[in-house]
Amino acid sequence: MSVPSRALLRISAISMMVFACDRPTAPQAQVRFVLDAPLCSSVMPVEFFVDGMTVGQDTFRVHLAPEHTVSRVFTVSTGAHILGARTTGAFAYAWPDAHVTASPTATTTDTLPFYCS
């Protein structure tokens, strides 16, 4: 390959990288899960789903130090999604799916009510 051909090849490769970086990306949105268990005092492992795919797990601590009832934030595309959650510990419980529309201007929260008896 001649020197001018290599230079032209490099310029073409650099141009393609620049154009790839300039492509607009789809807007991103955020979702999180919050456990609402006012009458419980427990440790509860929970698995989270977005559109049927597992996106993460967390262990909530309700009315125990240190209390932890809010998941981390998960990044999703904007638009309609189905959020789900289920316990993964000794007892099995699945919350009904939540149908939400995620917006890039706000974090969508799926509240998971749970009542101990």
- All structural domains of the chain, each given as residue ranges with its CATH number in brackets, are 28-113 (2.60.40)
Q: What is the pLDDT of residue 91?
A: 80
Half-sphere exposure of 103 (CA within 13 A, CB side): 2
Nearest partner of 100 among 17, 26, 20, 29, judged by Cα: 29
pLDDT (tens digit per residue) in 43-101: 999 999 999 999 999 999 999 999 999 999 999 999 999 999 999 877 889 999 999 99
pTM as predicted: 0.76
Task: Give the sheet arrangement for strand 74-77, strand by strand.
Answer: 74-77, 28-36, 107-113
- Asked whether residue 17 carries a pLDDT value surpassing 80, the answer given is no
Could you tell me where the beta strands, DSSP code E, fall in 1-117? 28-36, 42-50, 53-62, 74-77, 79-87, 98-102, 107-113
SS3 of residue 12 by DSSP: helix
**Distance (Å, whole) CA 75 – CA 31:** 7
